[in-house]
């Protein structure tokens, strides 16, 4: 699929999710609602997190970047692919009233939903805007921290996305991202089964490539905080792999992983 096609598919899917009441069943599902790989839904752990607002938690994340972002009081934070605002409200509990948190999403209905949630909470230092991660609408050296949770995997041009993150961060600032990657070679049949261009792992890249991209952009002191496998159901594995191939695949630690990592602009 071309970049424009991928963006359109993602926008339609997430507009549908934003229009639904309550928590999504997970972002791995295709536009018709079918789902091949179970998503990592960890939003339950947000319940005891400061700043958590259940109405903003659509269950679309693959990690908790705010746990590792080291956000300080008074800092300015940008959340890329903010959805209904869940991580923004958690980040605001760290920045306090003197800081500022901005959520960016390119799905209009998600931004509208996030704004409604903000209005319910009455926050004056949290804002949500419509925008593209490949062309972040802010000046250079603007943010102390950039967050993202299960959004960069949906971006067609990750090289451009990381250049934009680098550009808008202040010198000494850092990002903390939860995202989805592969480890080892994944049979094409499994990728097709997972409908990567229409769902949870659209645009997924190998972890080594991901880390190289971050380094080549100019980021330093990168830290991989977590790497957790996303389980592929046995019936799907059995459909595409022989028992011997499945064993080799599992033992080698190959598969789809959720990761949380950070790096600094020096």
pLDDT score of 180? 87
- Do residues 89 and 126 touch, judged by C-beta distance below 8 A? yes
Closest by CA to 81, choosing from 141, 4, 165, is 165
Which is it for the CA torsion 111, 166, 124, 93, positive or negative? positive
- Do residues 167 and 217 touch, judged by C-beta distance below 8 A? no
The yes-or-no verdict on residue 199 having pLDDT over 50 is no
pLDDT score of 43? 47
- Mean pLDDT across the chain: 85
- Do residues 220 and 213 touch, judged by C-beta distance below 8 A? no
Task: Kindly indicate the confidence band of residue 193, based on its pLDDT and cuts at 50, 70 and 90.
Answer: low
pLDDT score of 27? 43
The CATH number linked to 213 is 3.40.50.150
For residues 235 and 167, which has the higher predicted lDDT (pLDDT)?
A: 167
Residues 6+ apart with CB under 8 A from 22: none
Condensed to tens digits (0 to 9), the pLDDT of residues 61-78 reads: 889 999 999 999 999 999
Condensed to tens digits (0 to 9), the pLDDT of residues 12-25 reads: 888 888 887 765 54
pLDDT score of 54? 92
**Token pair of 210, please?**
């991901």
Residues 6+ apart with CB under 8 A from 106: 7, 11, 130, 131, 132, 133
Q: How far apart are CA 133 and CA 39, in angstroms?
A: 23
3-state secondary structure of 198: coil
| pTM as predicted | 0.87
For residues 85 and 26, which has the higher predicted lDDT (pLDDT)?
A: 85
Give me the number of domains the chain comprises: 1
Taking residues 110-122, report their average pLDDT. Answer: 97
Task: Tell me which residue range forms the domain holding 202.
Answer: 3-264
Taking residues 222-227, report their average pLDDT. Answer: 96
Closest by CA to 261, choosing from 217, 197, 214, is 214
Taking residues 85-102, report their average pLDDT. Answer: 97
């Amino acid at each position: 699929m071309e970049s424009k096609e991928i963006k359109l598919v993602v926008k339609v899917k997430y507009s549908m999710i934003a229009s639904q009441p309550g928590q999504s069943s997970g972002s791995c599902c295709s536009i018709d609602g079918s789902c091949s790989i179970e998503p990592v839904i960890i939003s339950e752990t947000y319940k005891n997190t400061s700043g958590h607002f259940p109405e903003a938690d659509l269950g679309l994340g693959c990690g908790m970047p705010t746990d590792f972002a080291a956000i300080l009081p008074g800092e300015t934070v940008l959340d890329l692919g903010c959805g209904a605002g869940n991580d923004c409200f958690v980040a605001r509990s760290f920045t306090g009233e003197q800081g500022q948190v901005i959520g960016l999403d390119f799905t209009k209905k998600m931004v509208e939903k996030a704004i409604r949630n903000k209005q319910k909470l009455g926050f004056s230092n949290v804002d949500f805007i419509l925008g593209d991660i490949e062309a972040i609408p802010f000046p250079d050296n603007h943010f102390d921290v950039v967050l993202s949770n299960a959004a960069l995997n949906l971006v067609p041009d990750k090289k451009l996305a990381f250049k934009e993150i680098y550009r808008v961060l202040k010198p000494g600032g850092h990002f903390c991202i939860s995202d989805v990657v592969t480890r080892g070679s994944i049979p094409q049949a499994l990728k097709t089964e997972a409908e990567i261009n229409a769902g949870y792992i659209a645009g997924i890249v190998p972890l080594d490539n991901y880390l190289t991209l971050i380094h080549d952009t100019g980021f330093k002191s990168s830290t991989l905080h977590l790497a957790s496998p996303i389980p592929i159901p046995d019936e799907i594995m059995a459909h595409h792999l022989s028992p011997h191939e499945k064993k080799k695949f599992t033992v080698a630690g190959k598969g789809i992983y959720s990761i949380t990592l950070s790096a600094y602009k020096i």
